[in-house]
């Protein structure tokens, strides 16, 4: 599944689709509305704002080894969130990362994007998806637990948890 139309808790209609180079112009407005704290939860480093080099890297991913989905508000055309999945080198898993526009947190978009990414990974035939989450990021850890992820300490980094979802344990998900 590459594209999906979803509705948030507040009724907002959102189109989730693969991120393409032509979406580059939506990124600055999106990241300008992500708080420094949320940027730190996503990138694990203090950041007042994302620099052009980082945006360029996020947009020009290698489609052979990675996928990114963008969420676009159907009425305004604004970028509301992004979830990425990068293949493990030589493995059967993928590492995800997700970011939602800060003012939109709690409206259900993160959950829907995670389900979209998980369904894509299942259809791709991956065995697991996993991600790193700061231990203080209780919203994300709780959401992952509700989605069926196992949560463990990251051996190599203090204060970081690794969340892993074995896809063969799951029924095929639908994004609704
Ligand atoms: C973490 C993050 C992605 C969550 O996104 P979000 O859109 O705010 O999350 P949602 O609104 O979908 O879900 C959050 C809540 O709803 C629950 N939820 C949402 N939709 C649901 C559904 N359909 N069924 C059951 N539970 C649902 C979640 O478990 C969670 O519970 P809570 O609000 O009671 O705490 C977002 O806060 C974010 O971008 N944070 C900064 C970056 C980050 O932390 N990234 C993670 C590391 S890669």
Tens digit of each residue's pLDDT (9 = 90 or more) over 126-139: 999 999 999 999 99
Two structure tokens written together for 7: 């509705």
**Atom of ligand 1 minimally distant from the CA of 113:** 12
Ligand 1 centroid to residue 92 C-alpha, Å: 26
Give the angle subtended at the CA of 49 by the CAs of 47 and 55, to the nearest 5°.
Answer: 105
Handedness of CA 146, 147, 151, 157 (dihedral sign): negative
Contacts of 62 (CB under 8 A, 6+ apart): none
Tens digit of each residue's pLDDT (9 = 90 or more) over 60-72: 999 999 999 999 9
**Atom of ligand 1 minimally distant from the CA of 38:** 41
Tens digit of each residue's pLDDT (9 = 90 or more) over 51-104: 888 889 999 999 999 999 999 999 999 999 999 999 999 879 999 999 999 999
**Atom of ligand 1 minimally distant from the CA of 107:** 11
Supply the pTM of this predicted model.
Answer: 0.94
Helix (H) or strand (E) holding 13: strand 13-18
Ligand 1 centroid to residue 144 C-alpha, Å: 9
């Amino acid at each position: 599944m590459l594209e999906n139309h979803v509705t948030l808790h507040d009724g907002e209609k959102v189109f989730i689709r693969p991120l393409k180079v032509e979406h580059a112009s939506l990124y600055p407005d999106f990241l300008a509305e992500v708080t420094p704290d949320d940027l730190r939860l996503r990138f694990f480093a203090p950041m007042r704002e994302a620099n052009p080099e980082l945006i360029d890297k996020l947009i020009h991913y290698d489609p052979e080894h990675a996928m990114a989905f963008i969420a676009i508000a159907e009425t305004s055309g604004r970028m509301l969130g992004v979830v990425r999945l990068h293949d493990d080198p030589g493995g059967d898993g993928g590492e995800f990362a997700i970011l939602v526009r800060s003012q939109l947190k709690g409206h259900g978009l993160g959950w829907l994007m995670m389900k979209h990414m998980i369904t894509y990974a299942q259809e791709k035939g991956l065995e697991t998806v996993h991600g790193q989450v700061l231990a203080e990021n209780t919203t994300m850890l709780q959401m992952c637990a509700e989605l069926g992820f196992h949560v463990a300490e990251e051996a190599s980094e203090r204060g970081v948890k690794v969340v892993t979802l074995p896809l063969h344990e799951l029924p095929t998900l639908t994004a609704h």
